[in-house]
Structure 1
Amino acid sequence: MAITYPNYNIEYLYHYYEKSNGPFLNLSDYSLQEAKGVLQNLKKNNHIMAAHRYEGYMERRIELEQMARALFEAKGGKPVRKSPHYMVVGKCAWLQSWYNNGDCIKISLKDFDKDTLSFSYGDMFPTFSCRVTDNKEYRRKIYTYKEIIHIIAKYGMPQDWNSDGQHGPERYIEVQVWDDAPLLKYIEKNNRIHKR
Protein backbone atom coordinates (compact mmCIF):
# COMPACT_ATOMS: atom_id res chain seq x y z
CA MET A 1 0.00 0.00 0.00
CA ALA A 2 1.27 3.48 -0.87
CA ILE A 3 2.43 5.88 1.81
CA THR A 4 0.49 9.09 1.19
CA TYR A 5 1.76 12.64 1.65
CA PRO A 6 -1.27 14.93 2.10
CA ASN A 7 0.85 18.07 2.53
CA TYR A 8 3.75 17.12 0.26
CA ASN A 9 5.79 19.92 -1.28
CA ILE A 10 8.60 19.31 -3.73
CA GLU A 11 11.75 21.01 -2.46
CA TYR A 12 14.44 19.55 -4.72
CA LEU A 13 14.84 17.83 -8.05
CA TYR A 14 17.59 15.24 -8.54
CA HIS A 15 19.67 14.32 -11.57
CA TYR A 16 21.72 11.09 -11.66
CA TYR A 17 24.64 10.64 -14.04
CA GLU A 18 27.97 8.93 -14.67
CA LYS A 19 30.55 11.01 -12.81
CA SER A 20 33.26 10.60 -15.45
CA ASN A 21 30.94 12.00 -18.14
CA GLY A 22 29.19 14.76 -16.22
CA PRO A 23 25.57 15.83 -15.83
CA PHE A 24 22.86 16.68 -18.33
CA LEU A 25 24.37 14.96 -21.34
CA ASN A 26 21.30 14.47 -23.47
CA LEU A 27 20.99 11.97 -26.34
CA SER A 28 18.07 14.00 -27.66
CA ASP A 29 20.42 16.91 -28.42
CA TYR A 30 22.02 14.80 -31.17
CA SER A 31 20.60 13.89 -34.55
CA LEU A 32 19.02 10.42 -34.62
CA GLN A 33 22.09 8.91 -36.33
CA GLU A 34 24.53 10.59 -33.93
CA ALA A 35 22.52 9.40 -30.91
CA LYS A 36 22.53 5.85 -32.27
CA GLY A 37 26.30 6.10 -32.67
CA VAL A 38 26.69 7.20 -29.05
CA LEU A 39 24.56 4.26 -27.91
CA GLN A 40 26.63 1.86 -30.04
CA ASN A 41 29.82 3.11 -28.38
CA LEU A 42 28.27 2.63 -24.95
CA LYS A 43 27.23 -0.91 -25.90
CA LYS A 44 30.75 -1.76 -27.10
CA ASN A 45 32.13 -0.74 -23.74
CA ASN A 46 29.15 -2.20 -21.81
CA HIS A 47 29.20 1.16 -20.14
CA ILE A 48 26.41 2.18 -17.72
CA MET A 49 22.68 1.52 -18.05
CA ALA A 50 22.47 3.20 -21.46
CA ALA A 51 24.55 0.34 -22.87
CA HIS A 52 21.52 -1.92 -22.46
CA ARG A 53 19.01 0.13 -24.47
CA TYR A 54 16.98 -1.90 -26.95
CA GLU A 55 16.97 -1.52 -30.74
CA GLY A 56 14.55 1.28 -31.61
CA TYR A 57 15.07 3.04 -28.26
CA MET A 58 15.89 6.42 -29.81
CA GLU A 59 12.92 6.39 -32.18
CA ARG A 60 10.59 5.62 -29.27
CA ARG A 61 12.24 8.26 -27.10
CA ILE A 62 11.75 10.93 -29.77
CA GLU A 63 8.10 9.87 -30.14
CA LEU A 64 7.50 10.05 -26.37
CA GLU A 65 9.23 13.41 -26.03
CA GLN A 66 7.15 14.95 -28.82
CA MET A 67 3.97 13.54 -27.29
CA ALA A 68 4.92 14.78 -23.79
CA ARG A 69 5.65 18.24 -25.16
CA ALA A 70 2.28 18.40 -26.92
CA LEU A 71 0.40 17.18 -23.84
CA PHE A 72 2.25 19.68 -21.65
CA GLU A 73 1.57 22.59 -24.01
CA ALA A 74 -2.12 21.62 -24.09
CA LYS A 75 -2.17 22.13 -20.30
CA GLY A 76 -0.56 25.57 -20.57
CA GLY A 77 3.05 24.44 -20.16
CA LYS A 78 5.73 26.63 -21.72
CA PRO A 79 8.56 24.42 -22.96
CA VAL A 80 11.63 26.23 -24.24
CA ARG A 81 13.60 23.18 -25.42
CA LYS A 82 12.46 20.86 -28.19
CA SER A 83 13.20 17.85 -25.94
CA PRO A 84 13.60 17.72 -22.16
CA HIS A 85 16.41 17.09 -19.76
CA TYR A 86 15.48 14.49 -17.13
CA MET A 87 15.38 14.72 -13.36
CA VAL A 88 13.38 13.01 -10.61
CA VAL A 89 11.42 14.03 -7.52
CA GLY A 90 13.22 12.76 -4.41
CA LYS A 91 16.31 10.63 -4.01
CA CYS A 92 16.39 7.30 -5.84
CA ALA A 93 19.14 4.81 -4.98
CA TRP A 94 18.03 2.56 -7.83
CA LEU A 95 18.82 5.28 -10.40
CA GLN A 96 22.27 5.81 -8.93
CA SER A 97 22.92 2.08 -9.34
CA TRP A 98 22.57 2.46 -13.14
CA TYR A 99 26.08 3.90 -13.31
CA ASN A 100 29.59 2.57 -12.76
CA ASN A 101 30.44 5.64 -10.68
CA GLY A 102 27.10 7.34 -10.21
CA ASP A 103 26.74 10.86 -8.92
CA CYS A 104 23.81 13.13 -8.22
CA ILE A 105 22.99 16.82 -8.46
CA LYS A 106 20.26 18.21 -6.21
CA ILE A 107 18.69 21.48 -7.38
CA SER A 108 16.12 23.53 -5.48
CA LEU A 109 12.71 23.73 -7.12
CA LYS A 110 12.93 27.50 -6.57
CA ASP A 111 15.57 27.63 -9.33
CA PHE A 112 13.02 26.49 -11.93
CA ASP A 113 10.12 28.16 -13.67
CA LYS A 114 7.36 25.62 -12.91
CA ASP A 115 5.80 26.37 -16.31
CA THR A 116 8.81 24.61 -17.87
CA LEU A 117 8.49 21.41 -15.79
CA SER A 118 6.27 18.48 -16.64
CA PHE A 119 5.99 15.23 -14.68
CA SER A 120 5.12 11.59 -15.18
CA TYR A 121 4.38 9.21 -12.32
CA GLY A 122 7.08 6.79 -13.32
CA ASP A 123 9.46 6.84 -16.26
CA MET A 124 7.76 7.86 -19.51
CA PHE A 125 8.62 4.57 -21.23
CA PRO A 126 6.52 2.28 -19.01
CA THR A 127 4.02 5.05 -18.25
CA PHE A 128 3.07 5.17 -21.94
CA SER A 129 3.70 1.52 -22.78
CA CYS A 130 0.80 -0.45 -24.28
CA ARG A 131 2.20 -3.47 -22.41
CA VAL A 132 1.31 -1.92 -19.03
CA THR A 133 -2.41 -2.63 -18.80
CA ASP A 134 -3.29 -2.09 -15.14
CA ASN A 135 -5.37 1.05 -15.92
CA LYS A 136 -3.95 3.06 -13.01
CA GLU A 137 -5.03 6.68 -13.32
CA TYR A 138 -1.49 7.99 -13.84
CA ARG A 139 -0.79 5.81 -16.88
CA ARG A 140 -0.41 7.67 -20.19
CA LYS A 141 -0.49 11.08 -18.47
CA ILE A 142 1.78 14.09 -18.25
CA TYR A 143 1.22 16.38 -15.28
CA THR A 144 1.88 19.99 -14.39
CA TYR A 145 3.48 20.86 -11.06
CA LYS A 146 0.12 21.49 -9.36
CA GLU A 147 -1.28 18.23 -10.70
CA ILE A 148 1.66 16.05 -9.63
CA ILE A 149 1.40 17.37 -6.07
CA HIS A 150 -2.14 15.90 -5.92
CA ILE A 151 -0.97 12.59 -7.38
CA ILE A 152 1.85 12.37 -4.81
CA ALA A 153 -0.63 13.15 -2.02
CA LYS A 154 -2.81 10.30 -3.26
CA TYR A 155 -0.23 7.62 -4.11
CA GLY A 156 2.96 8.60 -2.30
CA MET A 157 6.47 8.34 -3.66
CA PRO A 158 7.29 5.21 -5.72
CA GLN A 159 10.74 5.08 -4.11
CA ASP A 160 8.99 4.36 -0.79
CA TRP A 161 6.46 1.73 -1.82
CA ASN A 162 8.17 0.19 -4.86
CA SER A 163 11.92 0.54 -4.33
CA ASP A 164 12.53 -3.03 -5.57
CA GLY A 165 10.13 -2.81 -8.55
CA GLN A 166 7.93 -5.65 -7.28
CA HIS A 167 4.70 -3.61 -7.45
CA GLY A 168 4.89 -2.28 -11.00
CA PRO A 169 7.14 -0.30 -13.33
CA GLU A 170 6.92 2.99 -11.45
CA ARG A 171 10.14 3.44 -9.44
CA TYR A 172 10.33 7.26 -9.30
CA ILE A 173 8.56 10.38 -10.50
CA GLU A 174 10.20 11.64 -13.67
CA VAL A 175 10.58 15.36 -14.27
CA GLN A 176 10.87 16.61 -17.82
CA VAL A 177 12.86 19.88 -17.68
CA TRP A 178 12.02 21.93 -20.76
CA ASP A 179 14.50 24.77 -20.22
CA ASP A 180 18.32 24.86 -20.11
CA ALA A 181 18.53 28.05 -18.01
CA PRO A 182 18.45 26.53 -14.49
CA LEU A 183 20.96 23.84 -15.51
CA LEU A 184 23.57 25.96 -17.28
CA LYS A 185 25.83 26.52 -14.27
CA TYR A 186 26.09 22.75 -13.73
CA ILE A 187 26.74 22.09 -17.41
CA GLU A 188 29.33 24.89 -17.65
CA LYS A 189 31.09 23.75 -14.47
CA ASN A 190 31.28 20.22 -15.87
CA ASN A 191 32.67 21.52 -19.17
CA ARG A 192 35.42 23.42 -17.31
CA ILE A 193 36.36 20.31 -15.30
CA HIS A 194 36.54 18.05 -18.39
CA LYS A 195 38.62 20.55 -20.39
CA ARG A 196 41.47 20.49 -17.85
Structure 2
Amino acid sequence: MSETSKLIPDEVTHNYNPESPFLANICDLEHEEAEKVLQSIRNTGRRTIKTNYLNRRLEVEDWLIRERHRLLGHTPRMRPVYFFLGNFADGKDRSRPNSLVMPLNAFPEGTITFTIPDSMASLPIAKHHKYELERQPYHGQVFSLEEIRDVVAKFGMPNESWAADPRKRFDRFVEVQVWDDRPIIEYLGLSASST
Protein backbone atom coordinates (compact mmCIF):
# COMPACT_ATOMS: atom_id res chain seq x y z
CA MET A 1 0.00 0.00 0.00
CA SER A 2 1.40 3.40 -0.97
CA GLU A 3 1.84 6.25 1.48
CA THR A 4 -0.84 8.34 -0.26
CA SER A 5 -3.46 5.57 -0.07
CA LYS A 6 -3.07 5.55 3.74
CA LEU A 7 -4.03 9.23 3.95
CA ILE A 8 -7.69 8.74 3.10
CA PRO A 9 -10.25 6.90 5.23
CA ASP A 10 -10.99 3.33 4.26
CA GLU A 11 -14.75 3.69 4.68
CA VAL A 12 -17.58 5.70 3.13
CA THR A 13 -20.96 6.73 4.56
CA HIS A 14 -24.35 7.13 2.92
CA ASN A 15 -26.82 9.01 5.15
CA TYR A 16 -30.47 8.54 4.26
CA ASN A 17 -34.06 8.89 5.38
CA PRO A 18 -35.57 5.43 6.02
CA GLU A 19 -38.96 6.75 4.86
CA SER A 20 -37.58 7.60 1.39
CA PRO A 21 -36.67 5.21 -1.41
CA PHE A 22 -33.25 3.68 -0.71
CA LEU A 23 -30.43 4.65 -3.13
CA ALA A 24 -32.72 7.15 -4.85
CA ASN A 25 -31.62 10.36 -6.54
CA ILE A 26 -34.09 13.26 -6.56
CA CYS A 27 -32.99 14.18 -10.10
CA ASP A 28 -34.34 10.89 -11.45
CA LEU A 29 -37.87 12.19 -10.80
CA GLU A 30 -39.95 14.39 -13.06
CA HIS A 31 -39.54 18.06 -12.09
CA GLU A 32 -42.99 18.40 -10.52
CA GLU A 33 -42.63 15.17 -8.52
CA ALA A 34 -39.15 16.17 -7.33
CA GLU A 35 -40.48 19.54 -6.13
CA LYS A 36 -43.22 17.73 -4.16
CA VAL A 37 -40.58 15.59 -2.44
CA LEU A 38 -38.49 18.65 -1.63
CA GLN A 39 -41.53 20.47 -0.24
CA SER A 40 -42.35 17.50 1.99
CA ILE A 41 -38.78 17.65 3.36
CA ARG A 42 -39.16 21.40 3.96
CA ASN A 43 -42.45 20.78 5.76
CA THR A 44 -40.75 18.53 8.33
CA GLY A 45 -38.64 21.48 9.51
CA ARG A 46 -35.60 19.21 9.73
CA ARG A 47 -33.78 20.73 6.77
CA THR A 48 -33.75 24.08 5.02
CA ILE A 49 -33.99 23.70 1.25
CA LYS A 50 -33.93 26.81 -0.91
CA THR A 51 -36.58 27.24 -3.59
CA ASN A 52 -33.97 27.09 -6.37
CA TYR A 53 -32.41 23.86 -5.03
CA LEU A 54 -33.66 21.53 -7.77
CA ASN A 55 -32.42 23.73 -10.63
CA ARG A 56 -29.03 24.09 -8.92
CA ARG A 57 -28.90 20.33 -8.25
CA LEU A 58 -29.65 19.55 -11.91
CA GLU A 59 -26.91 21.94 -13.06
CA VAL A 60 -24.40 20.34 -10.69
CA GLU A 61 -25.39 16.83 -11.74
CA ASP A 62 -24.95 17.75 -15.41
CA TRP A 63 -21.39 18.76 -14.51
CA LEU A 64 -20.83 15.56 -12.51
CA ILE A 65 -22.14 13.43 -15.39
CA ARG A 66 -19.81 15.13 -17.88
CA GLU A 67 -16.85 14.67 -15.54
CA ARG A 68 -17.82 11.08 -14.77
CA HIS A 69 -17.85 10.37 -18.49
CA ARG A 70 -14.41 11.96 -18.90
CA LEU A 71 -12.91 10.05 -15.96
CA LEU A 72 -14.75 6.72 -16.05
CA GLY A 73 -16.62 6.44 -19.33
CA HIS A 74 -19.98 4.65 -19.20
CA THR A 75 -21.21 3.50 -15.78
CA PRO A 76 -24.30 1.50 -14.72
CA ARG A 77 -25.95 4.50 -13.03
CA MET A 78 -26.72 7.66 -14.98
CA ARG A 79 -26.92 9.69 -11.75
CA PRO A 80 -24.92 9.02 -8.60
CA VAL A 81 -25.72 7.87 -5.10
CA TYR A 82 -23.97 10.22 -2.67
CA PHE A 83 -21.61 9.15 0.12
CA PHE A 84 -19.07 10.89 2.35
CA LEU A 85 -15.47 9.72 2.54
CA GLY A 86 -15.04 8.52 6.13
CA ASN A 87 -17.46 7.52 8.85
CA PHE A 88 -20.24 10.10 9.14
CA ALA A 89 -22.75 7.92 10.95
CA ASP A 90 -23.13 10.59 13.61
CA GLY A 91 -26.87 11.31 13.29
CA LYS A 92 -26.25 15.06 12.91
CA ASP A 93 -28.42 15.34 9.79
CA ARG A 94 -31.94 15.09 11.21
CA SER A 95 -33.43 14.79 7.72
CA ARG A 96 -31.27 11.70 7.02
CA PRO A 97 -30.85 9.96 10.37
CA ASN A 98 -29.88 6.50 9.09
CA SER A 99 -26.42 5.64 7.84
CA LEU A 100 -24.81 2.95 5.76
CA VAL A 101 -21.06 2.70 6.38
CA MET A 102 -19.17 0.57 3.86
CA PRO A 103 -15.52 -0.13 3.07
CA LEU A 104 -14.20 2.10 0.32
CA ASN A 105 -12.61 -0.92 -1.34
CA ALA A 106 -16.08 -2.42 -1.91
CA PHE A 107 -16.29 -0.08 -4.90
CA PRO A 108 -14.23 -0.76 -8.01
CA GLU A 109 -12.19 2.30 -9.05
CA GLY A 110 -14.23 2.76 -12.21
CA THR A 111 -17.45 3.32 -10.26
CA ILE A 112 -16.62 6.27 -7.97
CA THR A 113 -15.65 9.92 -8.23
CA PHE A 114 -14.95 12.55 -5.58
CA THR A 115 -15.35 16.28 -4.88
CA ILE A 116 -14.15 18.54 -2.06
CA PRO A 117 -16.44 19.51 -0.41
CA ASP A 118 -19.84 18.29 -1.62
CA SER A 119 -20.52 18.91 -5.29
CA MET A 120 -23.28 21.45 -4.57
CA ALA A 121 -20.66 23.68 -2.92
CA SER A 122 -17.55 22.78 -4.91
CA LEU A 123 -18.81 23.98 -8.29
CA PRO A 124 -20.16 27.38 -7.13
CA ILE A 125 -17.00 28.08 -5.09
CA ALA A 126 -14.97 27.61 -8.27
CA LYS A 127 -17.30 29.70 -10.45
CA HIS A 128 -18.53 32.66 -8.42
CA HIS A 129 -16.52 35.77 -7.59
CA LYS A 130 -17.96 36.02 -4.08
CA TYR A 131 -16.06 32.84 -3.09
CA GLU A 132 -12.61 33.97 -4.26
CA LEU A 133 -11.17 34.06 -0.74
CA GLU A 134 -12.30 30.48 -0.04
CA ARG A 135 -11.34 29.08 -3.45
CA GLN A 136 -8.76 26.29 -3.54
CA PRO A 137 -7.33 24.43 -6.56
CA TYR A 138 -9.56 21.41 -5.84
CA HIS A 139 -12.83 23.35 -5.97
CA GLY A 140 -14.80 22.80 -9.16
CA GLN A 141 -12.89 19.57 -9.81
CA VAL A 142 -14.13 15.98 -9.95
CA PHE A 143 -11.50 13.39 -9.08
CA SER A 144 -10.89 9.70 -9.63
CA LEU A 145 -9.79 7.57 -6.67
CA GLU A 146 -6.12 7.89 -7.64
CA GLU A 147 -6.50 11.65 -8.05
CA ILE A 148 -8.24 12.19 -4.71
CA ARG A 149 -5.42 10.36 -2.98
CA ASP A 150 -2.97 12.81 -4.57
CA VAL A 151 -5.13 15.82 -3.62
CA VAL A 152 -5.37 14.66 0.00
CA ALA A 153 -1.62 13.99 0.08
CA LYS A 154 -1.06 17.61 -1.01
CA PHE A 155 -3.82 19.46 0.90
CA GLY A 156 -4.84 17.04 3.67
CA MET A 157 -8.26 15.64 4.49
CA PRO A 158 -10.90 18.22 5.37
CA ASN A 159 -11.14 18.44 9.14
CA GLU A 160 -12.22 20.73 11.94
CA SER A 161 -9.85 23.50 10.76
CA TRP A 162 -12.84 25.08 8.99
CA ALA A 163 -14.07 26.26 12.42
CA ALA A 164 -10.94 28.39 12.96
CA ASP A 165 -10.11 29.35 9.36
CA PRO A 166 -12.86 31.24 7.47
CA ARG A 167 -11.13 30.40 4.16
CA LYS A 168 -11.89 26.72 4.82
CA ARG A 169 -15.51 27.22 5.98
CA PHE A 170 -16.90 24.99 3.21
CA ASP A 171 -14.22 22.30 3.32
CA ARG A 172 -15.70 19.93 5.88
CA PHE A 173 -15.63 16.62 4.02
CA VAL A 174 -15.04 14.79 0.76
CA GLU A 175 -18.13 13.73 -1.17
CA VAL A 176 -18.12 10.40 -3.00
CA GLN A 177 -20.31 9.93 -6.06
CA VAL A 178 -21.13 6.25 -6.57
CA TRP A 179 -22.04 5.40 -10.17
CA ASP A 180 -22.92 1.73 -9.64
CA ASP A 181 -25.24 0.51 -6.89
CA ARG A 182 -24.37 -3.17 -7.37
CA PRO A 183 -21.54 -3.06 -4.79
CA ILE A 184 -24.01 -1.63 -2.26
CA ILE A 185 -26.60 -4.30 -3.04
CA GLU A 186 -23.94 -7.02 -2.77
CA TYR A 187 -22.59 -5.58 0.50
CA LEU A 188 -26.07 -5.58 2.03
CA GLY A 189 -26.88 -9.02 0.63
CA LEU A 190 -29.96 -7.62 -1.09
CA SER A 191 -31.51 -8.84 -4.29
CA ALA A 192 -31.88 -6.23 -6.99
CA SER A 193 -35.67 -6.55 -6.75
CA SER A 194 -35.76 -5.49 -3.08
CA THR A 195 -34.18 -2.03 -3.57
Quote the Cα distance in structure 2 between the aligned partners of 1:156 and 1:150: 9
Please report the TM-score for the alignment, with normalisation by the length of structure 2: 0.80
Give the C-alpha shift of residue 20 in structure 1: 4.9
Q: Which residue pairs with 1:13 in the alignment?
A: 12
Quote the Cα distance in structure 2 between the aligned partners of 1:133 and 1:40: 32
Quote the Cα distance in structure 2 between the aligned partners of 1:187 and 1:35: 29
Give the C-alpha shift of residue 180 in structure 1: 1.8
After TM superposition, the structure 1 = structure 2 runs for residues 88-107 of structure 1, keeping only pairs within 5 Å, are: 88-92=84-88, 96-99=91-94, 102-107=97-102
Number of positions where the alignment pairs a residue of Structure 1 with one of Structure 2: 184
Give the aligned residue type for 2:181: D
Give the aligned residue type for 1:45: T
RMSD of aligned alpha carbons: 2.9
CA gap 1:176/1:100 in 2 versus in 1, 3 angstroms: closer
Please report the TM-score for the alignment, with normalisation by the length of structure 1: 0.80
CA gap 1:114/1:78 in 2 versus in 1, 3 angstroms: farther
CA gap 1:74/1:148 in 2 versus in 1, 3 angstroms: same
CA gap 1:22/1:187 in 2 versus in 1, 3 angstroms: farther
Quote the Cα distance in structure 1 between the aligned partners of 2:121 and 2:132: 10
Residue ranges of structure 2 left out of the alignment (5+ in a row): none
Q: Which residue pairs with 2:178 in the alignment?
A: 177
Quote the Cα distance in structure 2 between the aligned partners of 1:71 and 1:164: 32
Q: Which residue pairs with 1:145 in the alignment?
A: 145
- State whether residues 117 and 174 of structure 2, in contact with CA within 8 Å, keep that contact through their aligned partners in structure 1: yes
Quote the Cα distance in structure 1 between the aligned partners of 2:154 and 2:106: 26
CA gap 1:159/1:93 in 2 versus in 1, 3 angstroms: farther
Q: Which residue pairs with 2:80 in the alignment?
A: 84
Q: Which residue pairs with 2:38 in the alignment?
A: 39
- State whether residues 163 and 171 of structure 1, in contact with CA within 8 Å, keep that contact through their aligned partners in structure 2: no
- State whether residues 13 and 107 of structure 1, in contact with CA within 8 Å, keep that contact through their aligned partners in structure 2: yes
Give the C-alpha shift of residue 132 in structure 1: 2.2
Give the aligned residue type for 1:127: S
Quote the Cα distance in structure 2 between the aligned partners of 1:150 and 1:64: 24
Quote the Cα distance in structure 1 between the aligned partners of 2:95 and 2:57: 23
CA gap 1:157/1:26 in 2 versus in 1, 3 angstroms: same
Give the C-alpha shift of residue 103 in structure 1: 2.5
- Report % sequence identity: 23
Quote the Cα distance in structure 1 between the aligned partners of 2:164 and 2:25: 27
Q: Of 127, 139, 143, which aligns to 2:122?
A: 127
Q: Which residue pairs with 1:58 in the alignment?
A: 54
Q: Which residue pairs with 1:113 in the alignment?
A: 108
Give the C-alpha shift of residue 187 in structure 1: 9.6
